Amino acid sequence: MEWVIYIALALLLLWAIYKLVQTRAVTVIEVPQEERVVLYRFGLFSRLAGPGLVTLAGYERVKQRINFRSEYGEYRTNTFYFINGIPFNYTVSFWRRYDLLTAANGDKARLAELVQYTDAERHRLLVTKLHEALYASVQVIQQKYPAPDKASIAVKLLPVLPGMSGCDELLALVKAQLQRTLPTVGVIMDTLHPLSITNVHVTPEVIDSFGRGRSLAMLREQLPDVSPELLLQAFSAIEGLDMHTVRLYMNGGAVHEVKVEGETIEGYKVTPVIDEPVARRDLHPSPLRTPPPLAPDEDERLSKADLSVLKRLPPASVQRAAS
């Protein structure tokens, strides 16, 4: 029986030697220049390694690979901002890189938090920081470049259009805030490239207002002697809109209330406010209107001789009984 015990001890010793060699085994991986690898050991963050040849010692395992290359991107938030009451949004472009080491600034605990995000999650956080920067910056531009309430849509939107001084100031504010906030999610903005606007987005109602304004101006130029009411009817027929909506685009009406329901804009109380009563003169009577009663003509009245030849009808009650 002793030989059985010896065999068991020998097998146990061989297994211990194998595990010791396996623990001390060295694995070498190659990491490209544009990547870094996140290494975990026993389920905990160990280190961020690369590029080049990386030695995995002990129980280190590759958790994920992160692209550290500086890349160009276009970004847009899922909301509209308001300048002088007009909704708008941007698609902005800039260069950035996912540099977790620079963002952590030597803080290993902070680095352990940043490596937990995937690239997709980090992209969503970047768009969130862009929204925060745009929201705060638009408020500053709104206070600096207010427009009168009666100004046109183009004038109200002017401060945020590319090429205007207000737009340049807005981009400078957004860029400064992104440089401060993006490192909190592991993103570094590349200052060698500018922050620029790729597209300006406005709502369909704003776009339609520009086209309708041009059509209305053309009608006024071609028909200078036409009354405002007829001009309104012609414009409604051309655009296929109801009268309340058209009055919102015409001058001369005092619009006191505007209600938005879905995609329909309705205006109320659009009749111009008149301080003194003015006699109303209907230049264009409707053909469907009931004409006023005419004064009877003396020659057309029936005489007694005319009445004598008329057939006498029985009372209505007698007619119903007969039927």
Q: What is the CATH number that goes with domain 71-202?
A: 3.30.479.30
Comma-separated ranges of CATH 3.30.479.30 domains in the chain = 71-202
pLDDT in tens, 283-297: 455 444 555 555 555
- Band the pLDDT of 319: cuts 50, 70, 90: low
| Pick from 2-16, 42-56, 88-102, 235-249: least confident | 235-249
pLDDT for position 303? 63
**Three-state secondary structure along the chain?**
CHHHHHHHHHHHHHHHHHHHHHHHCEEEEEECCCEEEEEEECCEEEEEECCEEEEEECCEEEEEEEECCCEEEEECCCCCEEECCEEEEEEEEEEEECCHHHHHCCCHHHHHHHCCCCHHHHHHHHHHHHHHHHHHHHHHHHHHCCCCCCCCHHHHHHHHCCCCHHHHHHHHHHHHHHHHHHHHHCCEECCCCCCEEEEEEECHHHHHHHHHHHHHHHHHHHCCCCCHHHHHHHHHHHHCCCHHHHHCCCCCCCCCEEEEECCEEEEECCCCCCCCCCCCCCCCCCCCCCCCCCCCCHHHCCCHHHHHCCCCCCCHHHHHHHC
pLDDT in tens, 120-153: 999 999 999 999 999 999 999 999 999 998 888 8
